[in-house]
């Protein structure tokens, strides 16, 4: 029976527990500070000849170098974009154009990529490309051998994300990169969730192209990077001036680029200690939530982003769970249908084989180094109560308890 167990936020009543860092992050004060001079005093257009413009151009170049250094690239391989989506779009379109010129129109990707990748691939499919989406194992991983088996004579691109945004599983990038390199196929990775959180080295990891987005590592929104190895000709998706070596028109967003460089350096410099802290919190969360009956952790336990927790709770619908968590001040997300205007359950959870009903009841908590043990304990108090309450008012759950319907997840 449904008894409303909502008790308010207890000791954290007026405190917001932000556990949705995979959606976006709070800006680092250092990154904000890095932006302000370029908003207030050095506002010149970097394409301008005069000193005030050239100072902006110099700042831009230094940001390019600092960012490149964070993952073993060189400054000339960094293209600034308006974010991860644009970088994904441009990488894929560029590789497709290169392939097309050689008569190669087969592209390999995976079923659980971000929509910036999947929708671009769909567009290419309509334009006559053959898109092969690899299955993802139940643990959220793709095996390098799947890539090796799928590559054909006419494959022009393999695009596999570095780490999944919903379930946090980290793909075997080095191995996939090595296979692509050996077979002479371009390899792109959407590293939007990985950059600033996992060590990346484009040369050692055989990455030809890589996308990142600053707001996922405490940098500003609206700015990202497409890394493209020297010699890979990019196709413009935004035509215009000679900016970004002619590959991306539009006056450069100097303040945001400087903010991004600072945030990325900061994230990379503190990666080890942040990972340690976040891992501890994450593991405690996973341990605690695992105790809820008929629940399952999504994504591999080991090969997993340090801050990612993702569970399915049988008999629960994600949106209700999120709204009740919000009432307790907890910001979380769900792969749920209802969150985004689409009614379909998360394509990621379906890709790892969760049945529709179970996929609807997911909860993603994504942590960062600013989260505390107290917050984690508060989450661990709150989630089980809400799950129990929602199950209590669910006709589905009642049927299961009575044995009229089968449980899909073990107790």
Partner 1 sequence: MALYSEKVMDHFRHPRNVGSIENADGIGEVGNAKCGDIMKIYLKIDNDIVTDVKFETFGCGSAIASSSMATELIKGKPVSEVLQLTNKAVTEALDGLPAHKLHCSVLAEEAIQAAINDYKSKQKIRAVGSLAKAEESK
Residues tagged in the binding site annotation for pyridoxal 5'-phosphate: 84-85, 165, 193, 213-215, 251
- Tell how far CA 111 is from the center of its chain: 15
Q: Give the nearer residue to ligand PLP in terms of CB position, either 115 or 276.
A: 115
Q: Give the nearer residue to partner 1 in terms of CB position, either 2 or 29.
A: 2
Choice from 44, 140, 196, 335 touching a copy of itself (CB under 8 A): 44
In 3D, which of 161, 165, 166, 96 has the Cα closest to residue 131?
96
Q: How far apart (Å, rounded) are the C-alpha atoms in residues 346 and 334?
A: 8
381 scored as a contact of a copy of itself (CB under 8 A):
no
Which does residue 208 touch among ligand PLP, a copy of itself, partner 1, none (CB within 5 to 8 A, set by kind)?
none
In 3D, which of 188, 166, 192, 194 has the Cα closest to residue 347?
166
Backbone torsions φ then ψ of 158, nearest 5 degrees: -115, 120
119 scored as a contact of a copy of itself (CB under 8 A):
yes
Strand partners of residue 313: 295
In 3D, which of 186, 97, 106, 108 has the Cα closest to residue 154?
106
Stretch that binds ligand PLP, among 81-89, 125-133, 140-148, 290-298 (CB under 6 A): 81-89
Which runs of consecutive H residues, i.e. helices, occur in 247-372? 254-269, 271-290, 318-327, 347-351, 356-359
Q: Which two tokens stand for residue 146?
A: 């799947």
Backbone torsions φ then ψ of 80, nearest 5 degrees: -85, 135
Which does residue 161 touch among ligand PLP, a copy of itself, partner 1, none (CB within 5 to 8 A, set by kind)?
ligand PLP
Instruction: Give the x/- contact pattern for ligand PLP in 148-177, rule: CB under 6 A.
Output: -------------x---x------------
Contacts of partner 1 in 10-69 (CB under 8 A): 49, 54, 57-58, 61-62
Q: How far is the CB of 20 from ligand PLP (least distance, A)?
A: 12
320 scored as a contact of partner 1 (CB under 8 A):
yes
Q: Supply the DSSP string of 336-399, one letter for each residue.
A: -GGGSS--SPPHHHHHTT--HHHHTTEEEEE--TT--HHHHHHHHHHHHHHHHHHHHT-HHHHH
Contacts of partner 1 in 327-386 (CB under 8 A): 327, 336-338, 341-345, 356-357, 360
Q: How far is the CB of 193 from a copy of itself (least distance, A)?
A: 13
Choice from 83, 168, 196, 345 touching a copy of itself (CB under 8 A): 83
CB 218 within 8 A of CB 264: no
Exposed e or buried b per residue across 61-92, where buried means at least 16 C-beta atoms within 10 angstroms of its C-beta = eebbebbbebbbbeeebbbbbbbbbbbbbbbb
Which does residue 393 touch among partner 1, a copy of itself, ligand PLP, none (CB within 5 to 8 A, set by kind)?
partner 1
Report in angstroms the alpha-carbon separations of 149 from 54, 174, 180, 211. Answer: 50, 17, 11, 25
Q: Which two tokens stand for residue 145?
A: 């051998």
239 scored as a contact of partner 1 (CB under 8 A):
no
Which does residue 385 touch among partner 1, a copy of itself, ligand PLP, none (CB within 5 to 8 A, set by kind)?
none
Q: Give the nearer residue to a copy of itself in terms of CB position, either 26 or 201.
A: 26
Q: Give the nearer residue to ligand PLP in terms of CB position, either 161 or 321.
A: 161
Q: How far is the CB of 1 from a copy of itself (least distance, A)?
A: 27
Contacts with ligand PLP by CB under 6 A lie at 83-85, 88, 114, 116, 161, 165, 190, 192-193, 213, 215, 224, 240, 250-251
């Amino acid at each position: 029976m449904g008894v409303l167990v909502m008790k308010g936020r207890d000791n954290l009543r007026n405190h917001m527990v932000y556990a949705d860092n995979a959606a976006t992050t709070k800006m680092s004060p250092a990154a904000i500070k890095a932006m302000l001079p370029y908003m207030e005093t050095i506002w010149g257009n970097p394409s301008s000849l005069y000193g005030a413009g050239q100072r902006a151009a110099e700042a831009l170049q230094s940001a390019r170098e600092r960012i490149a250094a964070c993952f073993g690239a060189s400054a000339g391989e960094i293209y600034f974009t308006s974010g991860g989506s644009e970088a994904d779009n441009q990488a894929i379109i560029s590789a497709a154009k290169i392939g097309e010129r050689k008569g190669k129109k087969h592209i390999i990707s995976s079923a659980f990529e971000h929509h910036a990748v999947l929708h671009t691939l769909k567009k290419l499919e309509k334009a006559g490309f053959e898109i092969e989406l690899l299955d993802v194992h139940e643990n959220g991983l793709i095996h390098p051998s799947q890539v090796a088996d799928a590559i054909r004579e006419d494959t022009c691109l393999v695009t596999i994300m570095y780490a999944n945004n919903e379930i946090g599983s980290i793909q075997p990038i080095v191995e996939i990169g090595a296979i692509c390199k050996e077979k002479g196929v371009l390899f792109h990775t959407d590293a939007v969730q990985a950059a600033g959180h996992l060590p990346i080295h484009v040369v050692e990891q055989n990455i030809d192209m890589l996308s990142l987005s600053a707001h996922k590592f405490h940098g500003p929104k609206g700015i990202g990077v497409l890394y493209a190895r020297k010699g890979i000709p990019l196709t413009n998706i935004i035509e215009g001036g000679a900016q970004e070596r002619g590959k991306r028109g539009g006056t450069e967003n100097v303040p945001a680029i400087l903010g991004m460089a600072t945030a990325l350096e900061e994230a990379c410099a503190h990666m080890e200690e942040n990972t340690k802290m976040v891992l501890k919190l994450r593991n405690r969360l996973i341990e605690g939530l695992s105790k809820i009956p008929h629940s399952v952790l999504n994504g591999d336990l080991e090969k997993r982003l340090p801050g990612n927790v993702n569970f399915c709770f049988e008999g629960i619908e994600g949106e209700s769970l999120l709204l009740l968590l919000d009432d307790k001040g907890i910001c979380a997300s769900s792969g749920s249908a209802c969150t985004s205007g689409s009614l379909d359950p998360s394509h990621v959870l379906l890709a790892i084989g969760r049945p529709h009903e179970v996929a609807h009841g997911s909860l993603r908590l994504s942590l960062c180094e600013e989260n505390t043990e107290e917050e984690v304990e508060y989450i661990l108090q709150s989630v089980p109560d809400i799950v129990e309450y929602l199950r209590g008012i669910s006709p589905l759950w009642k049927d299961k308890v009575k044995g009229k319907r089968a449980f899909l997840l073990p107790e």
